[in-house]
Amino acid sequence: MPMISPEYAGRLLEELTAGCPVPAAPAEMSRYAFQTSDHVLIGDVAVRGYKHKNRWRLDERDIRKAGEKLASLAIDLGDLVDARLPSAEHGRTWRSQILNWFVNAAYEDQSANGCHCEGQQPCGRTRPNQHGLGCGATREQVEARYGQQAIAFTRPLPLLTWSGTTWMVPRAYAALLDRADQITAQSAEQAARCSRCGATGDIWEWRTSSVVGYTTLCPSCTSAAARPYKGHLRGRLYASLPKNSQPDAFLCVLCTGPRQAMYWDHCHEHGFVRGPVCASCNTYEGGGYRFIDRPGAMQHLLRCKGCLRERTVPTRHHPDIVLRGLVIESHGSCAQQPPAWGEAQEDGSVRFRLHCWGHTPPQQWEQIVPTFQVRRLVSEFVDKTLEADPGAPAQGSD
């Protein structure tokens, strides 16, 4: 079986669909395409993905067949049908995705330039203007922001036409996308079934990444496949673990329900193992944003002996901790406190970017919390965590 990488598959698709009447978007392929299905959709062809040594691969023969079929689709630009875009989102269909782009474009324009529509201010961004879009949005704005967005590896915006009363699309292309929606629904239904007992549940709760791809296990089968972690590696350095340490033999220590782990989560600043986690929790912790809001998150971070000893946590979590103890004043006469997004700096300070949407154009400014204040706030927050939870790791624990 000639297996190729997603990157090579994208280049191959680009070559196969050159000159295709349907604008193709082969560069959209990524591992996240397999999160809700074992397949990636190219036009109306489902191509299965395979995971080997933690890397995704595709069968070159499948890519060629899908690319050739898409390239051979006959499109008559004069044979148009009503795209039937919904007035509100109804599931994740190609129509609802396009509608979402239009709504977002109208929101962005209204936020930047204000609303100039008659009647209630601001408007609800649902009544179409002369461009078929909400509020003051234009076709140029939509194309600049979403022109490269793909559905089933095709770009729909270049094929959409505003008739003055409704959005039109070539009949053959609409039929292609309808078939793609049907395949997507069937694939999602299959992916929501437990691979062991066949029970059906919430795909976002049951499906998780593994060494062989995404797998779906119900809570009962997950508990049978993995066991709770008892902390036997606490205090060990991640670099000292043997390659066959098998984190997937344990349940994720962060998920509230049973979920099979995939990685040994460890502190990248001190090197100590914190425990087995699933792929989702590993990504969430690595991103930092609002991770500490999760129940037990701080206790988990403090399983690192280095963080516990220094009364700190990794710097990516500092902005969220500082924000809890920082007083941000409202902007001028605005009644609401402005939303803030913080980023840790190399010197240990935290830079907050603040926004106030009550003005046209919106006001933006920054507030910097110095390093000494950040350290104090983080240390105090760690101490409060340890005081509030008698079960949290104690100083000097193994």
pLDDT at 396: 41
Average pLDDT (3-25) is: 90
Is 158 domain-assigned?
yes
Secondary structure (3-state) at 51: strand
Kindly report, residue by residue over 295-352, the tens digit of the pLDDT. Answer: 999 999 999 999 999 999 999 999 999 998 887 766 766 767 777 889 999 999 999 9
pLDDT at 395 over 50: no
Instruction: Answer yes or no: is 196 within a domain.
Output: no
Q: With CA atoms as reference, report the closest residue to 322 among 251, 256, 381, 394.
A: 381
17: containing domain:
3-71
Mark which of 26, 41, 71 sits at the end of a domain. 71
Length of the chain, in residues: 398
Banded pLDDT at 213 (limits 50, 70, 90): confident
| Same domain, residue pair 286 and 328 | no
State residue 186's pLDDT score: 92
Residue (of 269, 282, 98) closest to 173 by Cα position? 98
Tell me, yes or no, whether 147 and 239 share the same domain. no
Residue 218 in any domain: the answer is yes
Quick check: 72 and 78 in contact, CB under 8 A?
no
What is the model's pLDDT at position 363?
A: 77
> 67 and 184: one domain?
no
The confidence score (pLDDT) of residue 52 equals: 83
Instruction: Quickly tell me which residue has 């994208």 as its tokens.
Output: 10
- Identify the pLDDT of residue 300: 96
Q: How many domains does the chain have?
A: 4
Q: pLDDT band at residue 117, thresholds of 50, 70 and 90? A: confident
pLDDT in tens, 228-252: 999 999 889 999 999 888 999 999 9
Chain segment 64-76, per-residue pLDDT in tens: 999 999 999 999 9
> In this structure, is residue 302 part of a structural domain?
yes
Q: Where are the beta strands (DSSP E) in the chain?
A: 3-4, 39-42, 45-52, 55-59, 80-82, 161-162, 167-170, 207-210, 213-216, 263-266, 273-277, 340-344, 350-356, 363-369
- How does pLDDT run across 342-390, given as a tens digit for each residue? 999 999 999 998 887 666 667 788 889 999 999 999 999 999 999 987 6
